[in-house]
Amino acid sequence: MICLARAARNKLTLKSSVEELRLFFSKIQVVKKTSSREECPLQEDKSSLYFAGVEPRVAVVNKIDDEPFDEDFVYVKSLVLSDKVKLPNDVGFFIPCACTSKCDGCHEGSANYDSMGHIMVNRGVPVYECNRVCPCGSLCGNRIVQNGRKIPLEIFKTRSKGWGLRSTINIPKGTFVDEYVGEVIPQEDAEQRGKFYDMTGRTYLFDMDFHITDDNDETAQYTIDAYLMGNATCFINHSCDANLASYAVYSDSMDTSFHHIAFFTTRAIRAYEELCFDYEGLPGVKEVGKYAQKLTYEEGSFECKCNSIQCRKYIRM
């Protein structure tokens, strides 16, 4: 799940000082400026800012106020492993499909996608796409997430929630929108970074924790940190009535604790409608009539600003 409240759960110790905070963010800014010399710089045309080398287009617009977009934001197209993350690369652990083209239902006995590439798997069920040892090609229908985003996106300034994300075209239900990417770091680094990020009120940590259930005591081994580098998905805001859902997608690693996080639409979405998902990840929240059960404030929660009829008032993390 996305981690917006690590500091609330893990208070900074008295040893943590203003000087430590200053040094921490100074180091981050050096990394960001160094990383910004890459293949997707922010450029400008007559209509908007956009990221060069990114297709379909990802634009940046602000028609609300004069706040500039962060020019140091580093756009990356895929996950970037930190020096501390080493994944096994033994292809002997991969299970190939027996298909040569379409791959209809060859993994786990059922199809992940329909003929239009729309997700058919229920929320909470992992998606196993074809991998590097499968005999099928890149056009295989079971490589939707691997083959990347097909939807043009726009990062835009909202009236009350900072920057948000929307599509410039209509999107059918079940469509893959994009993958959450950034730097993959070990859990211990995520805990430390989260303490500092939450002091600024902004954090982009998303745990790879699909394999963790209420029945085990495990914690996520890896976390995606999109503070240093990321893509448009780190601007997706929360809504208690979300139109996106996140799925764990396995393809290039047999490590159950390492998976991709992909966003699919839960209903048809109109062009320029804001894209949102539920940060809390509680699809079974009890409803009373048309209204979701209202939550009361507790430590580690944030006031919700989604303003939907299903709003729970607070995001409980």
The DSSP code sequence of 101-135 is S---S-STTS-SB-TTS-B-SPTTS-EE---TT-S
Torsion-angle region of residue 162: left (phi > 0), alpha (psi -120 to 50) or beta? left
- The four Cα atoms 210, 216, 217, 222 give a dihedral, to 10 degrees, of -20
Q: Is 97 annotated as a binding residue?
A: yes
**CATH number for the domain harbouring residue 248:** 2.170.270.10
Asked if residue 189 lies in contact with residue 206, where contact means CB atoms within 8 angstroms, the answer is no
Mean pLDDT of the chain: 80
For the cut 90, the answer to whether the pLDDT of residue 150 exceeds it is yes
Number of domain units in the chain = 1
Give the pLDDT confidence score for residue 83 in this predicted structure: 87
- Where in the sequence is the domain holding 144, given as residue range(s)? 2-316
- Which residue from 77, 74, 53, 281 is spatially nearest to 179, judged by alpha carbons? 77
For the cut 80, the answer to whether the pLDDT of residue 112 exceeds it is yes
- Encoded tokens for 313: 């008032």
For the cut 90, the answer to whether the pLDDT of residue 267 exceeds it is yes
Q: Is 240 annotated as a binding residue?
A: yes
Give the pLDDT confidence score for residue 194 in this predicted structure: 85
Strongest mean pLDDT among 19-28, 96-105, 158-167, 208-217: 158-167
Give the pLDDT confidence score for residue 33 in this predicted structure: 52
For the cut 90, the answer to whether the pLDDT of residue 148 exceeds it is yes
Q: Could you give phi then psi for residue 119, rounded to 5 degrees?
A: -65, 135
* Upstream peptide bond of 56 is cis (omega within 30 degrees of 0): yes
Gap between the Cα atoms of 275 and 269, Å rounded: 8
- Which residue from 172, 205, 140 is spatially nearest to 7, judged by alpha carbons? 205
For the cut 50, the answer to whether the pLDDT of residue 14 exceeds it is no
The mean-pLDDT minimum among 84-93, 121-130, 276-285, 305-314 falls in 276-285
For the cut 80, the answer to whether the pLDDT of residue 141 exceeds it is yes
Q: Is 311 annotated as a binding residue?
A: yes
Q: Is 106 annotated as a binding residue?
A: no
- Which residue from 139, 46, 31, 118 is spatially nearest to 76, judged by alpha carbons? 31
Gap between the Cα atoms of 172 and 268, Å rounded: 4
